[in-house]
Amino acid sequence: MEKIALVTGGNGFIGSHLCCKLVEQGIKVYSLQRRPSSHNEEFEKLRNEGKIECVIGDVKDFNYDSLPQKPNYIYHVAGKVSVWGKINEFMEINYNGTKRLLEYAKTIDLDCFTYFSSTAVYGYNGYVNLTEDGAKTPFKNPYSISKLETENLVKDFCKENEMKFLIVRPGNVYGEYDYTSSHEIYTRVKHGKMMMCAKGKYKSCFVYVKNLVDAVVHLSKNEDFRNTDYNLTDGNNETLFEMLNLIAKTFGVKSKFKNVPAWLSKVVACVVEGIYKLFHIKKAPLITKFSVWQNCADYSFSIEKLLSTGFKPQYSMKQGVENTVNWINSLEEKENEIRSKKWIKFTWTV
């Protein structure tokens, strides 16, 4: 009998890659999304083929009973992700939205409920190869706090209602169709405009998106790996400089980075945030304490627990960066082609 999966935020960066992986595994996918399309070309292809069915709605008020079929798996990817905002806005979406989905999940015969949390729940206190048992002391940021609160909700609710669950904590996710961070970072590196703190000397926790979704599907489909939490990174323990240097090398450009000392970055972030709060500015600042502190201390995690399940990342850091670079280059080629056509049209009409 065909298995069914519901993916919230299924047309987004991580969600769309996850939907494609599930289809590859022979699973019928329903994607809950707020807008009708996705940037992911493979997702759109599978949607047109009827292998992914898109359902328009918001986790805050969607009627899950209206789904055409009851899912065997729920992958809760959707949530408010930002370095800026008010705590009640994050809790409304990340906590209350998850609670609504859990209430629905307990009414159906569910194989596994997978919640996408974040390594941000550990805070930025400086650590290398931190395990899942590490202390959860999130940075004083609404996103981090809401993620930890929701983790606890999922764990307690599922245990109380005897539901199978997974809590996964991705690190810094990158890859094709990521318009949140990869697009900006890679473009800045390519054009020599990338800035970094403390010379990028601290360890980071990157995870290529295809390795991430491979791991999630591997864990969620096996009963022996459920009812626990996992750190999900590529486990390379690379520094930020090493990652940025590899990106530059893959583009075939010089590693040209503007460095700002850690102490100065922190001072500027504090001043900027203070001004934004004083004048009640809603738009996120270009520099925040959340982003600065993350890059001013070691921030890497052990994936031994993941590896002990028999999982091995398929893509190396080199392969993941190459795929992302190729995507960025293809975007710029398309943009140049569009500009060229507009110029030809302009010169012809005048």
Q: Which tokens sit at 296? A: 């001013």
pLDDT tens across 136-194, in order? 999 888 999 999 999 999 999 999 999 999 999 999 999 999 998 999 999 999 999 99
Percent pLDDT > 70 in the chain is 96
Q: Which tokens sit at 109? A: 């015969």
What Å distances lie between residue 96 and 27, 58, 101, 256, 346, CA to CA?
A: 28, 12, 9, 44, 52
pTM value? 0.94
Extents of the domains making up the chain: 4-177+205-234
pLDDT tens across 98-132, in order? 999 999 999 999 999 999 999 999 999 999 999 99
d(CA 102, CA 55): 18
What Å distances lie between residue 120 and 34, 223, 239, CA to CA?
A: 25, 27, 17
What is the three-class DSSP state of 9? coil
Q: What pLDDT does 291 receive?
A: 87
> Could you tell me the fold of the domain covering 4-177+205-234?
Rossmann fold (3.40.50)
Percent pLDDT > 90 in the chain is 86
State phi, psi for 168 to the nearest 5 degrees.
Answer: -115, 140
Task: Name residue 277's beta-bridge partners.
Answer: none
Strand ranges inside the chain, DSSP E: 4-8, 28-33, 52-56, 73-76, 112-116, 127-130, 165-170, 172-174, 194-197, 206-208, 228-232, 257-260, 299-301
Element (H, E) at 269: helix 262-278
Q: Which tokens sit at 1? A: 């009998």
